Chains A and B, each alone.
Chain A
């Protein structure tokens, strides 16, 4: 036994044991503190405490809900956060939008375009998007030509389709 435990073997063994213990500790911690990659996007949009909830199985026409959260802000407002991938419009595809709604009323508290899709470098109008804050999601008409969000028609409708998805999802899951 003593012959096997030469100083070199001892050194390697020590390092291996430390590495294994460290990896095991990190694995346990990762399990406890795991946050889905895009979960943080919700607190970037609106500061509150969020918990992930299961996305309801709802047939949606204009997009899909990738992630859903519920939470409370510092004033005690109950919130619903939706991370939506819009079906796009025409050439404009793969737009993802974060929308935070008040759970009781459906009022939009915050929204931002997370990924601008593949329609080209059209900058969306942040002031236009900010104007939607305070609007009830039920009042959003994705087909309204007055509701221009970006500098290009296809991109604009692609973003609005995400809002239409949020409206559909909210009314089905949280509506009366």
Chain B
């Protein structure tokens, strides 16, 4: 039951990208293509799971006064591991090297990604190892799904392709620009909030049909 709650929190109720609006720099920069979104999401998920694991293990050892520098040290280590791994795999596959190159400066900047530090501070440092790992996993999945969908939408509209596969020649290049990223991200948040609120309201009404508020004519 608790796992279901964690999953719902990470993927929907507290989705880092669409509900908490955290880590927006990398979201805007790397949502130009679906594959870049997927790559960044996978990297963030790896760091989230590993850092939550270690921080949860060390939660009773790290003194409270130095917990933030200690968290940063641990997170930075895992970000370096991701960077090394990606470069190693990239040396064997051009596709992975393409993702590595696209991530550019945003890969080392995962260290200061608010999602990771927020989960370390608010969850992993107060919960058991198992729960912390699951929290990191579900938060990572939520972030990855949002980033990949955003990337897919921008790629379809801006380049007429998805995951590099050409669909048609129609393209609106505005969606590949930073302004297009802001607009698409905004629309995604609006759509997510609209659907989420409707579902929540429906649940509160016990599945009853939502009635429009009555208006009185004056």
Chain B contact residue count (CB 8 A cutoff): 25
A163 CB to closest chain B CB, in angstroms? 22
Q: Contact between B90 and A40 (Cβ–Cβ < 8 Å)?
A: yes
Can you list, as one digit per residue, whether each of B67-93 has a CB less than 8 Å from chain A (1) or not (0)? 001100110110011001101101111
Q: By CB atoms of chain A within 10 A, which of B69, B73, B81, B91 has the most?
A: B91
Q: Contact between A14 and B93 (Cβ–Cβ < 8 Å)?
A: no
Chain B residues with Cβ below 8 Å from A173 are none
A77 CB to closest chain B CB, in angstroms? 16
Q: Contact between A10 and B63 (Cβ–Cβ < 8 Å)?
A: yes
Looking at chain A, what size class is its interface with the partner chain? Answer: 20 to 34
A152 CB to closest chain B CB, in angstroms? 29
Instruction: Please pick, from B61, B76, B91, the residue contacting A35 in the complex, using a CB distance under 8 A.
Output: B91
Q: Kindly state the separation between the CA atoms of A49 and B85 in the bound complex, as whole angstroms.
A: 15
B43 CB to closest chain A CB, in angstroms? 15
Q: Which 6 A-B pairs have the closest CB atoms?
A: A22-B77, A33-B88, A11-B66, A35-B91, A40-B91, A47-B94
**CB<8 Å pairs between A and B, sample of 28:** A7-B63, A14-B61, A14-B63, A14-B70, A15-B66, A15-B69, A15-B70, A15-B73, A18-B62, A18-B73, A22-B76, A22-B77, A25-B77, A26-B81, A26-B84, A29-B84, A33-B85, A33-B88, A35-B87, A35-B88, A35-B91, A39-B91, A40-B90, A40-B91, A43-B90, A44-B94, A44-B97, A50-B91
Residues of A within 8 A of B (CB): 7, 10-11, 14-15, 18-19, 22, 25-26, 29-30, 33, 35, 39-40, 42-44, 46-47, 49-50
